């Protein structure tokens, strides 16, 4: 029920930009599998390349936050933004990077607690304490 | 500009439930400072106690996710839910638990990337790949 | 810091559509006070009239849900949509219609609980129980 | 899996308000097809009429913004509000009004970019530059 | 398509915390039926118990807001947070507590009106009227 | 009240990546003014450069959607995501590209209508009409 068709491997082969991104996804992820997000995005080859390059630079580069934590942060944002596909694909990715059931349970507890206090703060319109002001 | 008044220490002293929570916040956090969220919540003593007990059980108990990561997940949810006060108070809390500027920069990059792909997935209505289905 | 200027009474008097809506607001609410929402909307007289007529037909007509409950539902939606002005103006309106501090505390507790379970359900991607399906 | 039943043509014929709106939808859109949104809304005849009249006055009246641009703005809001049905029906409507694949690709790129910077701004709590203040 | 498996009665029987919560749900609700939300949450027994206890204390305790109004507020928040399962399960719960079709129609009208003015206020950036400031 | 400090011109001059982006912003926009969003982002030079390059490629390149329409779509997303700063800065940008008051009024009417029907669709859980399914 996508709003665009999903680009098959045969169709990808007819556009060098799409083909190059699909090749890179397969090389980086060490699997032949390409999930539907990329097949949908491939209708706009420039957008596909920009999004993949962006994702690689943020998620696949070594940094100060470890890969599993990155995936858990991704799940947190995707949950608050109500993106079902994103929640499911990144929960699978987090498990592949070592998320245990205990960690999943804690992650959900933190997300749920934050959502609860987010709504309380908004309903109460809590004024900022001066101590939290970086410029203060 | 709160929708309720902020309960002062003198007012808290007149309700044993509020006083007990304020005492516990000070003991757990090892500071005399009580931020406005709790002073606003204190208009409903039962709600104050329930929220504080909940927060303690999720954020202040040892578990599989470390305290700094918990705060970063909190920031991620609060950002997606557009809660300014929550973003500011939990960014301060994350810094107090050791978040460096490099980690903050990476955290923001992950949040921004997730928001971007959340919206792309929703606009494309990407169908779930069967491989992500836990029950499959 | 509005994105439009706020229309004064003198400016309203120069447009019969705006003047008529301002007169009607004053008559219905039995007060000379016109809050900033209507002064901002008045930059688009047709939009002002359409929104005021809509609001009157939904909020000021007798029906199966009482006026105070309507305001509490309004606060709930406005909180989840992170609209500060809306939360503040409708909390004032709910108080004017008799919302007690106890009711306000319960309202916030329900909003917070719903936000929490909304996020849990999304993170868990709970499948619909067939029994909830009206068409079933 | 709607929370109400979908009103059939036979049921619509039993309520003059519903019948009149269904007739008007068919006349304006020059098709016999009535999509499920209106069939669900028709459980509340007054709400059906109010919503249809509102939609006609905003979407079907000539104005300063052309019909295709209106549909693209509708898709943008519906995406940010995570409304799957709305995204799908208005993407179909935009295509019917001439949206090309290139335009669709650009629309998605703008939506995704805006979502990204929306989240960055919220996480950074960027203070308003005085120059953006209309009243300044 | 949940991100976790749904805990069956046989599996629940193997964990005393889960079993106790399932027993309590059945006793309080006077039905043998346990909906999928609780079966999904049961993967994290502590989270299951905390969420059930929280829900009971907010929704099943007598207070200043009647049970049907509580369910309608729940639907309002769940709608604004785009939680399909929550909308469906709490619409069923509201009907079980006496929500008529007329009330459902009015509830939807209020939710839709609030969403509309929430967006108008945000797009207009309406400044708060001093009269709404509780501290003023 | 930002969560980071705003990088001044003097501080920007000490990092070649930041300096190059600030120079480019000034050259492209033909003004010496750099708004706070970029000064906040500049705490993470790599993120600043990635975001600016991304924005340029989406917003400043000729394409099938004209520059003013792009800004109106940006406002629509930013409104639905409750980003005050984004609404204000992009409303200013849209005006600079020729948005009239009439267009602004229509834009707000479309955003408000979409928000309203988004919430109605979610509360009704309207099932997709097969005709909207691209793959159908």
Give me the count of residues in chain B. Answer: 136
CA Rg value for chain D: 19
What is the CATH classification number for the domain harbouring E22? 1.20.1290.10
Q: What is the pLDDT of residue A136?
A: 44
- Which chain A positions have a beta carbon within 8 Å of C80's beta carbon? 119
Cα separation values, D18 from B38, C41, D59, F116, F118, Å:
51, 31, 20, 20, 21
CA separation for the pair A24, A22 (Å, rounded): 5
Q: Which of D82, D84, D123 sits opposite B108 (nearest CB)?
A: D123
Whether F134 shows a pLDDT value over 80: the answer reads no
C12 and C76: one domain? no
Q: Is F64 helix (H, G, I), strand (E, B) or coil?
A: coil
Subunits close to D (at least 3 CB pairs below 8 A): A, B, C, E, F
Whether residue F54 sits in one domain with residue F28: yes
F29 located within any domain: yes
Same domain, A48 and A74: no
Instruction: Give F109-118 pLDDT, tens digit per residue.
Output: 999 999 999 9
Domain's final residue, options C43, C61, C79: C61
Report the pLDDT averaged over residues D84-108.
97
Number of DSSP helices (H) and strands (E) in chain C, helices first: 7, 0
Average pLDDT for C71-94:
98
pLDDT at F62: 87
Tell me, yes or no, whether A12 lies in a domain. Answer: yes
What's the token pair of residue F121?
């669709």
What are E115's two structure tokens? 């969403």
Q: How many helices (H) and strands (E) does chain B have?
A: 7, 0
Which subunits have 3 or more CB–CB pairs within 8 Å of chain B?
A, C, D, E, F
Count of Cβ atoms closer than 10 Å to residue F127 Cβ: 15
The CA distance from E41 to E60, in Å, is 19
Mean per-residue pLDDT, F72-93: 98
ipTM of the prediction = 0.96
pLDDT band of residue F37 (cuts 50, 70, 90) is: very high
Radius of gyration of chain E measured on its C-alpha atoms? 19
Q: Is residue B133 part of a domain?
A: no
Q: Which chains touch F (3 or more CB pairs under 8 A)?
A: A, B, C, D, E
Domain boundary among D61, D79, D98: D61
Provide the mean pLDDT of chain A: 95
Q: Mean of the per-residue pLDDT values for chain D? A: 95
pLDDT at residue B61, as a whole number: 81
Are both C73 and C136 inside the same structural domain?
Answer: yes
DSSP line for A20-69? HHHHHHHHHHTSS---HHHHHHTTSHHHHHHHHHHHHHHHSS--SS-HHH
Residue D134 is predicted with a pLDDT of 67
F14 pLDDT above the threshold of 50: yes
State how far the Cα of B21 lies from the Cα of F118, in Å rounded to an integer. Answer: 41
Size of interface D-F (CB pairs under 8 A): 206
What lies within 8 Å, CB to CB, of A61 at 6+ separation is none
Rounded to whole angstroms, the Cα distance separating C36 from C5 reads 10
B61 conformational bin, left if phi > 0, alpha if psi -120 to 50, beta if neither? beta
Write down the residue that tokens 């949206």 correspond to.
D99
Given a cut of 50, whether residue A33 has pLDDT beyond it is yes
The pLDDT score that the predictor gives to residue D133 is: 74
- How many other C-beta atoms are found inside a 10 Å radius of the C-beta of residue F13? 12
Domain count, chain B: 2
Burial environment of residue B61 by CB neighbours within 10 A (0 to 12, 13 to 18, 19 or more): exposed
Write down how long chain D is: 136
Phi, psi of D81 (to 5 degrees): -90, 5
The answer to whether residues F90 and F112 belong to one domain is yes
Bigger pLDDT: A131 vs B98: B98
Residue pair F114/D89 in contact (Cβ under 8 Å)? The answer is: no
Q: How far is CA B111 from CA B77, D82, D120, F26, in A?
A: 9, 17, 8, 27
Q: Which domain holds residue B85?
A: 64-125
Hey, what's the torsion of the CAs at B128, A67, B84, B28, to 10 degrees? 120
Interface contact D63, partner A, CB < 8 A: no
Is residue E89, in this structure, part of any structural domain at all? yes
Q: Which residue has the tokens 């001044």?
A: F8
pLDDT value at residue E33: 96
- Given a cut of 90, whether residue F89 has pLDDT beyond it is yes
| Chain B contact set for C119 (CB, 8 A) | 77
Distance CA D86, CA A37 (A): 20
CB of E47 less than 8 A from some CB of A: yes
> Could you tell me if C71 and C130 lie in one domain?
yes
Q: Is residue E25 part of a domain?
A: yes
Same domain, residue pair A70 and A110: yes
Is-contact C32 C26, C-beta < 8 A?
yes
SS3 F115: helix
Q: Which residue of C has its CA nearest to B50?
A: C109
Six token digits for residue B26: 């000070």
pLDDT value for D132? 85
| D31/D87 same-domain check | no
C59 close to E110: Cβ distance less than 8 angstroms: yes
Distance of alpha carbon E36 from the chain centroid:
14
F113: nearest CB among D35, D54, D128: D54
Residue A1 has pLDDT above 80, yes or no: no
User: Is residue E57 domain-resident?
Assistant: no
Residue with tokens 């921004």: B112
- Decide if A125 touches B, using CB distance below 8 A: yes
Helix/strand/coil for D6 = coil
* Rounded-to-integer distance, Cα A8 and Cα A17, Å: 14
pLDDT the model gives residue D103:
98
pLDDT at A131 (0 to 100): 87
Is the four-CA dihedral C44, C47, C53, C56 of positive or negative sign? negative
Judge whether residue E136 has pLDDT over 70: no
Confirm or reject contact between F65 and chain A (CB < 8 A). Answer: no
Residue where a domain stops, chosen among B45, B61, B77:
B61
Instruction: Tell me the average pLDDT across A14-35.
Output: 97
Does residue F24 sit within a domain? yes
Instruction: Say whether both B11 and B25 belong to one domain.
Output: yes
The predicted model gives A129-136 an average pLDDT of: 75
Sequence-ordered list of residues with C-beta below 8 angstroms from that of D67, at least 6 positions apart, any chain = D59, D97
Q: Where are the alpha helices (DSSP H) in chain D?
A: 9-12, 16-29, 36-41, 45-59, 67-80, 84-96, 101-124
C128 touches chain A (CB under 8 A): no
Structure confidence at residue B136 (pLDDT)? 44
Verify whether the Cβ–Cβ distance D104 to A44 is below 8 Å.
Answer: yes
- Quote the pLDDT of residue C134: 67
Share of chain B above pLDDT 90, in %: 92
Same-domain check for residues E67 and E120: yes
Q: What is the pLDDT of residues D102-134, one digit of tens each?
A: 999 999 999 999 999 999 999 999 999 988 876
The reply to whether B54 touches chain A by the CB within 8 Å rule is yes
Q: How far is CA E106 from CA C113, D59, F17, in A?
A: 23, 24, 56
CA geometry: angle at A55 spanning D104 and A111, to 5°? 95
Structure tokens at F20: 């190059």
CB contact under 8 A, D123 and B75: yes
Residue B37 tokens read as 């969220």
Q: Hey, what are C80's tokens?
A: 């989840």
Instruction: Note whether C125 and B134 are within 8 A (CB).
Output: no
Interface check B52 vs A, CB under 8 A: no
- CB contacts of A77 in chain D (<8 Å) are 119
E38 and E91 housed in the same domain: no
Whether the pLDDT of residue C64 is over 50: the answer is yes
- Residue E112 has a CB neighbour count (10 Å cut-off) of 27
Nearest-5° Cα angle at B82, A52 to E67: 120
Q: Are C36 and C68 found together in one domain?
A: no
Mean pLDDT of the region C42-60 = 95
State residue E131's pLDDT score: 87
pLDDT digits (tens, 9 = 90+) for E79-131: 999 999 999 999 999 999 999 999 999 999 999 999 999 999 999 999 999 88
Provide the token pair at B118: 């959340």
Q: What is the pLDDT of residues A78-98, one digit of tens each?
A: 999 999 999 999 999 999 999
Please indicate whether, in this complex, the C-beta atoms of A82 and D87 are within 8 angstroms of each other.
no
In a domain, E135, yes or no: no
Q: How many whole angstroms separate alpha carbon F53 and alpha carbon F47?
A: 10
């Amino acid at each position: 029920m996508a709003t665009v068709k999903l680009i098959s491997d045969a169709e990808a082969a007819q556009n060098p930009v799409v083909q190059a991104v699909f090749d890179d996804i397969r090389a980086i992820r060490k699997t032949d599998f390409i999930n539907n997000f990329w097949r949908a995005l491939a209708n706009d080859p420039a957008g596909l390349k920009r999004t993949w390059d962006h994702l690689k630079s943020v998620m696949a580069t070594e940094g100060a936050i470890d890969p599993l934590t990155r995936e858990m942060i991704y799940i947190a944002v995707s949950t608050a933004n109500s993106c079902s596909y994103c929640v499911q694909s990144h929960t699978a990715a987090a498990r592949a990077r070592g998320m245990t059931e205990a960690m999943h349970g804690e992650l959900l507890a933190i997300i749920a607690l934050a959502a609860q206090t987010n709504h309380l703060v908004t309903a109460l319109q809590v004024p900022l304490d001066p101590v939290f002001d970086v410029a203060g």
